Structure formats: C-alpha cells, structure tokens
Amino acid sequence: MKLCVPIPCFFGGLPFETAVEKVAALGYKYVEIYDWRQLDPASAAKALEGAGVTMLSMCTTEFRLTDPACRDLWVDGIKESCEAAAALGVKKLITQVGPDTGAAREAQRRSIVEGLKAGAPILERAGVTVMVEPLNTKVDHPGYYLTSSAEAFELVREVGSPNVKVVFDIYHQQVSEGNIIPNITENLDCIAHLHAAGHPGRNELQFGENDYKNIFAAVDKAGFPGACGLEYRPLLRAEESLAAAREIYS
C-alpha cells in the first residue's frame, strides 16, 4: 500500500506547485486534490514531474447521482474530468452520489446505477476509474444518501465495470458502521482507494480510537495494491503530522 497526501488538508493555502515540492521534501511520492478546475494543468503537470510526485486522484465536477434530472450534468463532468486527468496523469476520480432526495430509496439507487453505467464507457475509453464514496451522516454529512459500505459494494457490482469502484474512507465508515478490517479485506475487488483519519475529531490517525497499525497491516496482508489518502484535519504542523503517519505505516 502507498500513503497519499491530500494537498488541501495540509498545504491548501499554498500554490499547488509549492505544495508538491513540500510533499516531495517530506518523502512522499503521491498526492491527491479535490477541485482540479483550480489548477493550471500545464504548470501542475510540470511541477509533479519535476518533484517526482504522482497525483493519484481528484474529484469529479458533479455529484448528484441520486437525481435523474442531473444525470447529464454528471456524465458531462466525467468527460471533462477524464480530459483533465489525462493532462495530469491521474487515473482515479472520486464521486459522491448526492443527497437523499426524498424519493423512494430504490428509485434513488436505480438513478445512481444508471448514472454510473452511463459514465462507464467514457471511463473505460479513458483508462480512468471513478470511485463512489460512502459518507457518514451522523457527524459530517447530514442528508447524504450513501452511508453503508455494503450498499456501495452492491452498487459497484451491479454496474459491473472494472472502471467503477469504491473509495473506502475508514473515518466515515468507523462513524457509520465499524467492522473496518473485514469490510475492507472481504471486498478488495470493489475498493480502489482508501482514506483515513482518526475518530472522533477527524484528526491524526494516532489520536483516534482505531489502531491504524493493525488496519494497515491487515490491508497489506490481504494484498490491497492501492493507496491510502491521509484525509484529516491536522492538529500538528504538517511536517510533524506527516512524519507521524509514516511512523504508523512502517
């Protein structure tokens, strides 16, 4: 497994190019961002190459898969995001599924699946994977549709495309359901990326109730080939915080 630095969490106040240099100086080789539209693609790609850093993931431009009326916007966003991904060497996109619209859950679920199926051929041609993200509604995202990792895995399996997967956020799933290690290791066929933070607080991994040494060891033993983004709000200086994360995963 690789550790990945989400730029907005640690160096969001800096120009992307400067942030990439700082990440590289701290010994990290992988980053992710959220809104790619804030970047100058040519400048960002040059900075990544110069620092020897790879950008693993970024977000799509549209998240409202639960609403069929927004499907075309979501598909157009996939097209745009795949073009940006090609310019930046990115192979993974994160999408949320949107709010619970109040319609029957089965209707919303059907809308999500149909939207993902509509985007799948675009993703497959581009060689890019989109990753659906379950979130917690108890602390951070009230009103969001998808909280269950089991439902997320079911969605991915129903879509049936190798380019549609799940980003499993350990923090969100600890809030929502727990049972972290089995839920990851028994569903590696559906998971393309991990996120991690300590709970409660969404801060450093060592400040929460999860034993991340055990989690990471189990994930490695299971053969997970992807990366884990350190998506938390650091209480320590960025340099100290990222050094501590490396100690946990050592």
How far apart (Å, rounded) are the C-alpha atoms in residues 173 and 4? 19
Options 32, 62, 133, 204, the catalytic residue: 133
Is the pTM higher than 0.85?
A: yes
How far apart (Å, rounded) are the C-alpha atoms in residues 37 and 87? 12
Q: Count of domains in the chain?
A: 1
Q: Give the DSSP H or E segment for 106.
A: helix 105-126
Q: Does residue 114 have an active-site annotation? A: no
Q: Does residue 133 have an active-site annotation? A: yes
How far apart (Å, rounded) are the C-alpha atoms in residues 33 and 136? 20
How far apart (Å, rounded) are the C-alpha atoms in residues 143 and 151? 16
Options 32, 62, 204, 231, the catalytic residue: 231
Q: Dump pLDDT digits (tens) for 175-227.
A: 999 999 999 999 999 999 999 999 999 999 999 999 999 999 999 999 999 99
CATH number of 29's domain? 3.20.20.150
Beta strands in 14-117 (DSSP E): 30-32, 54-59, 92-95
Give the rounded percent of residues in the chain with a pLDDT score beyond 90. 100
pLDDT at 234 over 90: yes
Provide the domain limits for residue 108. 2-248
Distances (CA, A) of 34 to 137, 138, 163, 208: 20, 23, 19, 24
